Structure 1
Amino acid sequence: MTRKHVIVSGDVQGVYFRDTCRSTATAHGVRGWVRNLPDRTVEAVFEGETDAVDRLVAWAHDGPPAAAVDDVRVTEEEPHGLTGFEVRPTPWRPA
C-alpha cells in the first residue's frame, strides 16, 4: 500500500481533469481524491497498490486529452486507509 500526493500545473482546469482522474482511478482500484485549487492547479491524493498508484501518477503527467500539463509535483505520504475516490470542492480563498 502506498500514497502519493500530487499537484498538477498547466492548463488543467476546465478540461475534465477531475472527472477523468476519478474514472481512471476507479478503473485501477486506486482510492483518494482530486480537487481544483484557487491557483489553477489540480491537487490529488492516490492511495492503493504501488503499481496502480504509479499508473495514476504517470496518467497525471498527461491528463485528459484537452489538458496541457506543465509540471507534476509528487510527494510520498503515509497511507490513511482511504475508501473510494471522490472529487472534492475547490477550497475557498479570501480575496
Structure 2
Amino acid sequence: MADPSGFPVCASSLDDLLADPSASFAVKTVARTWSARDRVDAAHDAGIPCARFENEVLAQRAERPPPFPEHDEPSPAKPPRKRSTRAAKADQIDFGF
C-alpha cells in the first residue's frame, strides 16, 4: 500500500518498526544499522536492492504461466451458436421503432 506521495506506508518511527512483530529480523537489523546514516543516502541505498528484487520477481512471473489463466486471459472465441428459426424470424420483424 502506498500513500499519495508514492512511498510505502510504514512504521511512523524507528521504535515502532523495531516493536512491530510483523517486521522481519533482517529489516530490523538494517533499520538499527542505518538509523545513524544520512536519511537521503539511506533511502537511496535501500532503493537499489529493492529495485533489483522487484525486477527478479517480475521476471519470474513472466517465466511461468499465471496460476489461474481463466481469470487473467480472455477465453478463446467460441464459434457462434446456430440461431433457432424463431430467433432468425424475430430479427426480420420491423417493430417500427
Give the TM interval when normalised to the shorter protein. under 0.3
- TM, length-normalised to structure 1: 0.20
Structure number with higher strand proportion? 1
Computing the radius of gyration over CA atoms, which structure comes out larger, 1 or 2?
A: 2
Q: Which has the higher contact order (CA 8 A, sep 6+)?
A: 1
